[in-house]
Structure 1
Amino acid sequence: MSIQISPLSVKELRTKTGAGMMDCKQALQAANGDIEIAVENLRKKGLASADKKLTRLATEGIIDSYIHIGSRIGVLIELNCETDFVARRIEFQKLAKNLAMQVAACQSVFYVSINDIPQEIIDREIRIESGKEDIINKPPEIKEQIIKARIDKRLKELCLMHQCFIKDQKVLIEDLVKEHIALLGENIKVRRFQRFILGEKIDLN
């Protein structure tokens, strides 16, 4: 027998996830009224449905900006979707703003995803890790495993999609985008971004 779910709980879950009313009610019933479990289940469901849309062409969207307090750091970001209709949705525009803010906050991030990192950067990181003293005397197979793990970690540190969302550390940016794909029903891609830091690269000589 399904438990009674209050409209207030449904509304709270809808606010947290953006899912439909019936989806929220069913998720709460399956979770015996536990909102946190319902949120997790809806996110899993959304990520699975979003994966199917990732290959669809996304050529519409917006260019948005974020200027940090004090006006010393600014970011421009291009976020693409499939239609102009979704580009005008407040949820899409809020996502663009949040992603621009994320780029401003993560100043070690220079690429959207690992696939965007030039091979010469990867080769440089491999050379650096291979020459570290703590692995010089380890057996070759162990050394290779350590280098691979460190390179994977380093490359993720350089990429926006592998960062934890500054507003919710339990959510990766990659999953945040997928949640919006599920919510809005279209493929969404971060095409590019540019960070501006006041005084950067000024030659004082």
Structure 2
Amino acid sequence: MEIAVIDYKGGNVQSVLFALERLGVQATLTSEPEVIRRADKVLFPGEGEAASAMRELRAQGLDELLPTLTQPFLGICLGMQLLGQHSEEGGGTGLLGILPFNVIRFPSAPEYKVPHMGWNNLQALRSPLFEGLREEDYVYFVHSYYAPVGDYTIAQAEYPAPFSAAVQYKNFYAVQFHTEKSGPVGTRILENFLKL
């Protein structure tokens, strides 16, 4: 099985590669369109800021390639947000337009610090991606922006109101949390993705 991990200088790539290695999977870190197109599965990790990530994707022509992919695709953290239509981050940024959500900033409140950082449990699971998991299971988040809950939502978390912890449209799956930092739960999600 050929696994492509998209390299767009988005950060967090090495920990995803290490997580796959622990599962006995050798992945290719690449920005080459043909390597990405022929891969059996594609992972799209990321940390950082939406505008600079989109600039890099456009510079490499990946903004046009990614929406055309038909194999199972998993976005992680910023890699989930970039699948949306628009982000409030950085004064406003157009995204890849694959899923019909806009990315908005968490409101600040004394009891809820921004960024949302740490362990939070998943709720309303509805995808083969979460096979074998329970709604009490915890995953690790680090983010200041989020996708609201919609028809595309396949898992939720609360901070303080519900937000999309995971989304899906056709072959595009994505999670807001870090699978590679979420212990056995994150490992199970990666295993489930590789079985899709």
Q: TM-score normalised by the shorter chain: which range applies? A: under 0.3
Higher strand proportion (structure 1 or 2) = 2
Q: What TM-score comes out, normalization by structure 1 length?
A: 0.23
Relative contact order higher in (CA < 8 Å, ≥ 6 apart): 1
Q: What TM-score comes out, normalization by structure 2 length?
A: 0.23
Higher helix proportion (structure 1 or 2) = 1
